[in-house]
Structures are given as C-alpha cells and as structure tokens.
Structure 1
Amino acid sequence: MVPPRPSTNKPHVCLTAVLIMTSLALMDAYLVEQNPGPRRIGVCIAVLAGDVCFVIALRYVAVWAGSEVHTARRGYAMILWFFYIFILEIKVYFVYQNYKSQDMDVDAEVTDPGVSRRALTLLLSVCMPIVFITLSAIDHLEYLRPYKKREEIRSRLFWVVLDLLDIVDVQANLWELQGEGLPLWVEGLMFFYCYILLLVLPCVSLSEISMQGVNIIPHKMMLYPILSLATINIITLFIRGGNLLIYGDIRMSGIMMGKNVIAIVVKSCSLVEYRKHQPASPPAERGAEMQKNPLGDVQICNTQPMVLPRVVIEDLTTIPEEEGSDDRCEQT
C-alpha cells in the first residue's frame, strides 16, 4: 500500500488510540479478575505482552488512519477496525468461557454474577459503536460541505450503530444468566457468527464511504443495506425466535426484535423504490457519457458535412500529380 501523506489529524489519532486501548484494558481486567491465585500472574503477563504487540501495530495503523480523516478514503480505518475487533473478540471469548466454567462449577462461590456480566455487555455496546463512529469521522470530511449530504451519510451510519448493538445483544445471551443454557454447537455457532458480522459489516460501511465523492451515488451505498437485511435483520430475528420458542429463553430482547421487523420493512421499501427508479437510469447514464466525452460527439457531427469537400480536394490534388507523372514518362 502506498504510504499516506505525512499530515495527520493528531487529536483524532489520540482519541482513537485511547478508546481502543481503554476497551482492551477493561477486558484485560475481566480476564485477570476471573483467574484468582497463582494463575493471575501468568494471565497478567500474557495480556500485557499481547497489549504491547498491539500497541506497536496501533502506533502505525492509527497514524495512517488519521491521515485519511479529511478525505473520502477509509482503507486504513478498515484495517484498524479489523485488528481491534479481532483482538477484542478473542478476549471476549476467553471471558465467556470463564463464565461458562463458573456456571458448570456448582461448588464455586460467586457473588451476584449478573452484575459483572451485564457490565460486560454494557462495555461492548458502548465501546464498539464509539470506535466505529470515530473511525468514520463524518464531521471531518472536507468535501461534504452541504449539510444535507453529510446528514444523509450520518443517517446511514446510524443504521450501522443499531446493527452493532443488535449483534452485541445476540452475543451477550451467551454469557448472561440463563436457565439450562444452550447446546454447545449452538453456542459456538452463535458466537462465531456474531464475530464474523462484527469483523465484516462495519468494514463494508467504511468502504462505501470511501467510494463517495462530492456527489453521493445511491447505488454505491446499497451493499451494506442488502447485507445487513439478510445477515442481521432476518437471521437474528430467527435466532431470537428460536431461542424463545425452543429453549424458553424469556430474556430475549423484544425491543431488538421489534427493531428488526421495522428494519426489514424500511429496507425492503427502499430496495423496491430503488428498483423502480433503476429503469429510468439508462438515459441518465447516456447523458453522463455524453458529458464525459462531449468532444467526441461534436467531432462526429462536424466531420460528417466536411467529408465530401475533403474527398474532392484530395481527388483534385491527386489528378495533377498523376498527369505530371505521365508527362515525365512520355518525355523519357
């Protein structure tokens, strides 16, 4: 990749680094607190070594992402989000496994475990959206001077934030208090499904921001709504309904289920409306092609009436040359 220009937005870089490292440090506190006794020292050394390696990578990636703040490019922001979620979800997985072992250990004395588990859910539901909004940095885009264009992209990012909260809510059902719990294969499938969505979908939204210029092009902003409609609004609705009907999990968020129903209706209507306007797009595309290459069309129109004079002139110029050549031949 080509290194970016040296000018960076230092406040944005510092804010991004502080948010990322704070959330990771809080997850480290969960891991250390769940391992009492002599194991705590080993866990503390392991998480500190991992954080040092991540800080070294963050030192460069955050600076590169800060150089893109005032432009439409969000390539390094996508890389930073991928690394952040990759490390964060690994730590969340170990925390979840520790909670699961505590539930299986009947003799373990746990004082009010629901508070720390719901605090973990609150931590993830606050840190992930804030980091994503910081990386998108819509308010710093210099080319989006009109207020209407900026608000249009901000409204699209609002749906991304809602989808992040939806994914965290589905994933949080694994470590929050349950009755008998879910089967092992269901838990693993649910966790890693949410893991993949957290890695991929925000990067898709950031790539859509990268493809925008001065004029917002609607068809370049339709990939994320289609993917989120299929992978979040429909599938998570079936996941919650299945847990509610099959396993009797009464803690299923009815608010998020209602959000998914509303999102399905809204996004489906927007897709239908987009398809209605799609047949009228070829004339507009032809006009755009004519604007892109107006000189070519003008040259074609202007050269057609000038074809005959040019041919006549070429014929007149060639006839004397042939006669002159014949006279020379006779003289020889």
Structure 2
Amino acid sequence: MEMLQIIPASKNGTRMVPPPPINKPHVCLSTTLIMSSMVLMDAYLVEQNQGSRKLGICIMVSVGDICFLVVLRYVAVWVGAEVRTAKRGYAMILWFLYVFVLEIKVYFIYQNYKADRKSLDLMARKALTLLLSICIPALYILLVATEHMEYVRTFKKKEDLRNRLFWVIVDMLDVLDIQANLWEPQKKGLPIWAEGLMFFYCYILLLVLPCVSLCEISMQGISIVPHRMMLYPMLSMLTINIATIFIRGSNMVFFRDIRVSGIFMGKNVLAIALKVCMFAQYRKHLRHAPAGSGAAAADPQHNTMAQTQPAIHLLKPQNQTPCPEGLAQENT
C-alpha cells in the first residue's frame, strides 16, 4: 500500500502543489545538445592557437565548461520538470545562459579568423555556420516542447503553436545568416564599427526574442488564445524583418558585399506583408468585439458564460433576499 504524501498548506490556506515529475529523456537530450555544441566551440578555439598558448586555452575552456555543467545540472532538471506545464521560466533562464556563453566563444572565434585573414579555411568557417544554425534552433525546439504540452487539448491550437515556432526558427536563421557574414571569407572587410555593431545586434536579438516567445507561451497558461500572442510578431517585424533589410541593403550598396542573401530579404518582405495583414485583422476583431472587456471578448468560453448570466438573473425572483447559505455556494 502506497504512502500518501502530506502536502503542507501555505499561509493563505491553499495547498502548495509539488512540481510535476521530471522528464528525464528531455533533460538528457537538452544537456547533450548544449554540452556537445560547447565542446565543438572549444575545439575551434583550441585549434586556432599554437604552441604553449594552445595548452592554456585548453585549460581555460575546460574549467569554463565544468563550471557551466555544474550550473546546467540544476537548471536543466527544472526545465525538465516544467515541460508538461504551461510555465517556461527555467527554459528562459537556460536559453539566456546558453546563448550568453556560446556567443562569447563565437566572438573570440570570429576575432581569431579576422586576425588571420590569410588562412582561408572555407570548410571550417562554413561548418561553424552550419553548427550554429542547427544547435541554436534545436535547443529552442526542445525548450518549447510542443509535443509534450498536455494542457493544449485542441489540435488547432497546437498547430498554431507549431506555426509560431516555425517563424521563430526562421527568424533565428535570418539573424545567424547576418552574423555568419562576419567570419566567412569576404573580399572587402567591413569597418570595425560596422562589424561590432552587427555582431552585438545579432547577439541581443538571439538573447531576447526567443525569451519573449517563451514568455508568451508561459503567460497563456492552460487557455491558450492565439490572437493574444502579438508581442513577438510585433518585435520581430521591427527588429528582424525591417532592420535586416536595411542591414543587407547597406552591405550591398556601400560595401559591395556579394554574399548578401536575397532569399532572406524576400522572406522579410513577405513577412512584413503578412504581419501587417495580421495586425489589421486583429484591430478589426477588436473593433467589432462586444463593448465590455477586450480580454473577455477574445475568449469564446468567457463570452458564452457572460451570455448565459443575464438569463439566469431573469429566472431569479426579484423580491427575495438570498440566504447566507446561498451566498456561500455562489462564492465557492
């Protein structure tokens, strides 16, 4: 016979719910992906140095990886504990830590390539771009864990989340494409201020925008309403779709950069048109919504409850005073 666990009550009288069971395969997979990408970045840093400096870099990156693994041991467990819930707080913390450390290593790799322009190891530089374009979006997919969202019951809402997940991944690849132009071989280098501004702009976008998307999923909770998740589309349109068109256009016009991706420029133009139509449709929806509360008008379940309440009040006798027991039942 199993022992029943006594859950202590909090100060306001409600019982504190323990965290859900840990999803061990999810924890192992995310940890393996993070540490393998870190080790590969360390291999780039070690191979770019020669002699006694190579040994010193190897010791430094090994100590850093051990410290990061100690922190990851606790954060990844809590990320696995909140996979089946609506919360994504620890997922945002893990994403921030991972991108923060990874991009620092990428910055030093890029500086080493910049200092040694004569060594045009094209395959190694292309492999670095390919590695980042796989590891970073793959970790975001694991942190969102759409397939494990048991609280999303309807197929339509889960498909809407997958579509939003797809657009976030495409935006990441767009940012990584701009950042990769810095370490891939180029005939004419950009000015130092332009390179630094471009790198750290992409750095901030990779840090912040996926966290905004995870925060929108976390704030929705059990009743996910797709048209309330408008913060990320608005920010991505301004900071990615519009800004990267100007960045690529400036590289083509002023710096004669022939590696500018015309495919991503076309993607940004189409994304701007689609998001403008989406915003216009959303404003039209709010304009034609019933005059009450915007949040209540957006939730169909809330609307049905609000429409049934007047009929219930009409059925009640108007000259009777409800007894205290009836008030207690209504409050509960």
Deviation at 1:134, TM superposition (A): 0.7
1:253 and 2:261 equivalent?
yes
What pairs with 1:123-138 in structure 2 (closer than 5 Å)? Answer: 123-138=131-146
Partner of 1:264: 272
Equivalence for 1:93 = 107
What per-residue deviation string (whole Å, max 9, x for no partner) do you get for residues 215-240 of structure 1?
43134311100000000000001000
* Deviation, structure 1 residue 64: 0.2
5 Å-filtered alignment, 1:100-111, equals 100-103=114-117, 110=119
Residue equivalent to 1:25: 39
Question: What is the distance in 1 between the residues matched to 2:49 and 2:138?
Answer: 29
Q: Does 1:241 align with 2:277?
A: no
What code does the residue aligned with 2:142 have? T
Q: Find the structure with the greater CA-based Rg.
A: 1
Equivalent residues in 2 for 1:1-332, closer than 5 Å: 5=19, 7-103=21-117, 110=119, 112-283=120-291, 285=296, 288=302, 291=305, 302=316, 304-306=318-320
Specify the code of the residue in structure 1 equivalent to 2:63: A
Amino acid at match of 1:251: R
Q: Structure 1 residues 248 and 33, CA, compared in 2 at 3 Å: closer, same or farther? A: same
RMSD of the TM alignment (CA)?
2.3
**One-letter code of the match for 1:93?**
Y
| TM-score, normalised relative to structure 1 | 0.84
SS across alignment from 1:192? helix
Shift of 1:143: 1.3
- Gap runs ≥5 in structure 1: 308-332
Q: 1:218 to 1:147 in 2, by over 3 A?
A: closer
Q: For residue 173 of structure 1, what is the amino acid of its counterpart? A: N
Alpha-carbon distance in structure 2 between the residues aligned to 1:218 and 1:152 = 7
**How far has the Cα of 1:298 moved from its partner?**
5.7
Which is helix-richer, 1 or 2?
1
Unaligned 5+ segments in structure 2 are 1-15, 322-332
Question: How many residues in Structure 1 have an aligned counterpart in Structure 2?
Answer: 300
**Residue-by-residue CA offset, 1:239-258 (whole Å, 9 max, x unaligned):** 00000011000110111111
> Any conservation in 2 of the 1:99–1:175 contact (CA below 8 Å)?
yes
Percent identical pairs in the alignment equals 59
C-alpha change, 1:4 and 1:292, in structure 2 (3 Å) is farther
**Mean Cα deviation higher: 8-17 or 295-304:** 295-304
Alpha-carbon shift at residue 145 of structure 1 (Å): 2.8
Q: Which moved more, 1:216-225 or 1:181-190?
A: 216-225
Read off the aligned partner of 2:108 and give its amino acid letter.
Answer: F
TM-score relative to the length of structure 2 = 0.84
Contact 1:121 1:172 in 2 (8 A): yes
